Amino acid sequence: MVVLERGTWTSYSACGIPYWVAGDVEDAHTLVARTAAEHRANGIDIRLGAEAVEIDLHARTVTSSERATAVTQVLHFDQLVVATGATPIRPDLPGASARGIHGLQTLDDGAALIETLVSQRDLRRAVVVGAGYIGLEVAEALNRRGLSTCLVDLAPEPMSTLDPKMGAMVRSAMEGMGIEVRTSTRVEGFEVGDDDWVRGVVTPDGTLPADLVVLGIGVRPETRLAKEAGLPVGATGGLVVDRRQAVPGHPGVWAAGDCVETFHRVRQESVHIPLGTHANKQGRVLGTNVAGGYSTFPGVVGTAITKVCDLEIARTGVGQHEAQDAGFAVAVGMVDSTTTSGYMPSASAMTVKVVAERGSGRLLGAQIVGAGPGSAKRIDACALAVWNEMGADELAMADMAYAPPFSPVWDPVQIAARRASEEATGR
């Protein structure tokens, strides 16, 4: 088994990078689950700094190019695994290649950002472009490192994967910790100094001064190589795979992770959701199948979670507008409640929104924003309820755990579900 990796690291937690930047994690090596040496000890011929530059499906070969020397080598395969991941979107805007503008996808990106933070002592103001998961986490990290931080996004509220009212809560929380949030704001370019260092972020409302810019405007599946080889790419831009992670029509070719599209069980269509947990599960499925076993990836329901300071944020299924876009008529139930029984000293505020199908009352999705521990991981109960196509009324009556340090006597998820059910069914 030969593995080509164009970078310098293997098997690391990209999701941990913002916490490394924040200082929660001291050493990048902590983020590495398995080093190249460990892989080699397992009998895997892993080649770092070696990039796959061509796939020939007829000849069943991959051409590898050693980055340092540009020496190429043609490798024959019986089974081919494409795990090329995703590429951060870099805006094609004036000044976008200036120094001081960072992406944050790989460990090397993280190292470069930390190097900038440590070596440039006069950094005072940071602008983070993109208010999704990574953008929020990085804005918090920079804010905690003492930089005056501004978060910019095109959408009306941060976290556009949440419905706007929930996103507004995220905005308040971020503003509460001293982060400036500029939404509905288009970035038009970057002001760059004579030293080729970024000076500001240009918007229609004027230029936001910046000594440091971090881009967190999402990723797209990295499929150039696969496309050139003739492998099928779906409407999402991700590679098409079946439930065993096999590429249909190409026996012996497999793909998994951020470069593939995945079946969304509620929307009943393919989506591209680049998350480490999906990639990890798909990798296991793929490996089982390549090794002659049988395993399937059952798809996703759009679960995601993050944390900004003490604010916990999670979602699953489809949001209200996403459901409408998918053709559902929807009803909504919301509740402002507490994480524990209200009389416990540990009680903190949490808001739960549940989306149900009008008429049937079937649960379609849920969102949680909470001010303290114990809020957002409740999304797993919602995710499994959505997964199993439960009615919102059944979730409301299901046997969820109650004790005063953990929940009010009716879990807030169940109250929101009940309200959504009543709204959906008129009962």
Give the footprint of its own copies on this chain (CB under 8 A): 13, 15-16, 19, 24-25, 30-31, 133, 275-278, 280-281, 285, 293, 296-307, 312, 314, 316, 341, 343-345, 373-374, 376-381, 383-385, 387-388, 390, 394-395, 397-407, 409-411, 427
Closer residue to its own copies in complex, CB, 15/98: 15
- For its own copies, which is the closer residue by CB, 287 or 404? 404
- What φ, ψ does residue 392 adopt, rounded to 5°? -60, -35
* Run of H or E including 76: strand 72-76
The amino acid present at 221, given as its one-letter code, is P
The dihedral over CA atoms of 236, 237, 242, 247, expressed in degrees to the nearest 10, equals: 170
Closer to its own copies by Cβ: residue 137 or 222: 137
Identify the residue whose tokens are 């472009």: 129
Q: What are phi and psi of 408, to 5 degrees?
A: -65, 170
Count CB-CB contacts under 10 A for residue 348.
16
Reduce the DSSP state of residue 416 to 3 states and report it: helix
Shortest distance in whole angstroms from residue 193 CB to its own copies: 35
Taking the least distance from each CB to its own copies, the nearer of 134 and 198 is 134
Q: Which residue has the tokens 């409302």?
A: 205
Least distance CB 19 / its own copies (angstroms)? 6
Q: 198 vs 304, which CB is nearer to its own copies?
A: 304
Nearest partner of 24 among 309, 261, 284, judged by Cα: 309
Identify the CA nearest to 239 among candidates 404, 80, 415, 43: 80
* CB of 13 vs its own copies, minimal distance in Å: 6
Shortest approach of its own copies to residue 406 CB, angstroms? 5
Based on CB atoms, which residue is closest to its own copies, 197 or 406? 406
The number of beta carbons lying within 10 Å of the beta carbon of residue 195 is 10
Give the DSSP letter of residue 376. Answer: G
Two tokens, residue 128? 């983070």
Instruction: Provide, rounded to whole angstroms, the least separation between the CB of residue 387 and its own copies.
Output: 5
If you search the block for the tokens 């930089």, which residue do you land on? 147
Q: Which residue number, 211 or 411, has a Cβ lying nearer to its own copies?
A: 411
DSSP 100-150: TEE--SSHHHHHHHHHHHHH-TT--EEEEE--SHHHHHHHHHHHHTT-EEE
| Contacts with 287 (C-beta within 8 Å, 6 or more apart), sequence order | none
In whole angstroms, the minimum distance from the beta carbon of 244 to its own copies comes to 13
Q: Which is nearer to its own copies, 112 or 400 (CB)?
A: 400
Q: Tell me the closest approach of the beta carbon of residue 344 to its own copies, in angstroms.
A: 6
For residue 23, the minimal CB distance to its own copies (Å) is 10
CB of 68 to its own copies, least distance (A): 30
In the complex with its own copies, the residue whose CB is nearer, 171 or 281, is 281
Token pair of 93, please?
């805007």
Supply φ then ψ for residue 293, to 5 degrees. Answer: -90, -165
Helix, strand or coil for residue 335? Answer: strand
Closest contact distance (angstroms) between CB of 307 and its own copies is 5
The gap between the terminal CA atoms of the chain, to the nearest Å, is: 60
Name the residue nearer to its own copies (CB basis): 93 or 384.
Answer: 384
Tokens matching residue 347: 């009680």
